[in-house]
Amino acid sequence: MKIIKQMVVMLGLLALVLTAQADDKLKPFILAYKTSGDMAAAVAEVKQKLTGGGFEVVGSYMPYDTATIIAVTNEQLKQNAAKSEFGGYGAAQRVSVTNVNGELQVAYTNPTYMAHAYRMDGDLAEVTAKLAQVLGNMEQFGPADGLTPKQLRKYHYMFGMEYFDEPSTHAMYPSHEKAVKAVAERLAKGVAGVTQVYRIDIPGKNEVVFGVAMKAPSDKKKDMDDAFIMSEIDFKPLRSTAHLPYEILVSERKVYSLYARFRIAINFPDLSMMGANSFMNIMKSPDAIKNALTEVGDDTYKEALF
């Protein structure tokens, strides 16, 4: 009887998601719930809910003292990634617990939004419904108006800025295995202040995605730092902490990442170009991120790209 009730709830949530997201504008993040108390206890509870709901926790980290991010995947996410070109970017969803003035906000990336932004084969509506069932769904948030699926699939911030299919290509190796080995080893060493948060091997194809934390090794390198960037752009009452971490994708023999002018803008599409809390304040960050991830990719083989 309990299983039947759970199935009814799941189908109801899925129907609501499909109806609401078929034509309406989508937002990148979903607030699950708000709570109070100890951060570590809240994170442990969230992880328990996720694993109990069939998700695999593949990694977590604290980019700064007031936030913890949990990366999760499941078979549906991995199988959808396997069917999609560069689908590794959508193989994980990110769940955040953020302390905002003593209140803990539990939020997560909207799988349907991300599926369209990353031009994936499906819309991941069932995963969206599952997360809503497991964690809750108080409201979508991020930009004031949101974006339609059509807008997301051809998104760029403005003229001259990168689309999804214009990534940074950091290196090319003689084989997929050597590329993965090089990236994994350099992340383990913390090259350029970049370390591994999670790794997901995409089934049935030569593709691996690494979620990476970026901590500036010196103040001169602060423009690539997770905490610095978020202090400038994540200022609204509901925090978009689940923007992090960034990804390195090893697909076949090449090492890629989404260029930051796309990767940041897709989660903050209403961020102003100039003024307080604007792209102008992180003007150097896209190239700083690219340079740091290129060091991780090891540009020994970069001449083979051209």
Same domain, 123 and 227: no
pLDDT digits (tens, 9 = 90+) for 209-246: 999 999 999 999 999 999 999 999 999 999 999 999 99
Evaluate if residue 299 carries a pLDDT over 80.
Answer: no
The residues, any chain, with a CB within 8 Å of residue 282's CB and separated by 6 or more, are 223, 228, 229, 232, 233, 264
Same domain, 102 and 200: no
Q: Check residue 202 and give its pLDDT.
A: 98
Same domain, 14 and 144: yes
pLDDT band at 22 (very low <50, low <70, confident <90, very high): very low
Same domain, 211 and 142: no
Listed residues 118, 153, 188: the one ending a domain: 153
Same domain, 123 and 216: no
Listed residues 153, 180, 200: the one ending a domain: 153
pLDDT digits (tens, 9 = 90+) for 249-287: 999 999 999 999 999 999 999 999 988 888 899 999 999
Is 306 part of any domain?
Answer: no
Here the CATH number for the domain that contains residue 190 is: 3.30.310
Tokens describing residue 114 = 């991300």
Same domain, 98 and 201: no
pLDDT digits (tens, 9 = 90+) for 146-176: 999 999 999 999 988 999 999 999 999 999 9
Domain extent, residue 265, equals: 168-299
Cβ atoms < 10 Å from Cβ of 46: 26
pLDDT digits (tens, 9 = 90+) for 68-122: 999 999 999 999 999 999 999 999 999 999 999 999 999 999 999 999 999 999 9
Is 159 part of any domain?
Answer: no
Q: Report the alpha-carbon distance of residue 61 to residue 85 in Å, rounded.
A: 28
* H or E segment to which residue 297 belongs: helix 285-297
Listed residues 153, 183, 214: the one ending a domain: 153
Is 304 part of any domain?
Answer: no
SS (H, E, C) 141-168: ECCCCCECHHHHHCCCCCCCCCCCCCCE
pLDDT band at 10 (very low <50, low <70, confident <90, very high): low
Helix (H, G, I), strand (E, B) or coil at 85: coil
Is 161 part of any domain?
Answer: no
Is 209 part of any domain?
Answer: yes
Q: Find the DSSP H helices in 100-258.
A: 111-117, 125-135, 149-153, 176-189, 226-233
Same domain, 6 and 133: yes
Q: Check residue 13 and give its pLDDT.
A: 53
Here the CATH number for the domain that contains residue 6 is: 3.30.310.70
Q: Count how many domains the chain has.
A: 2
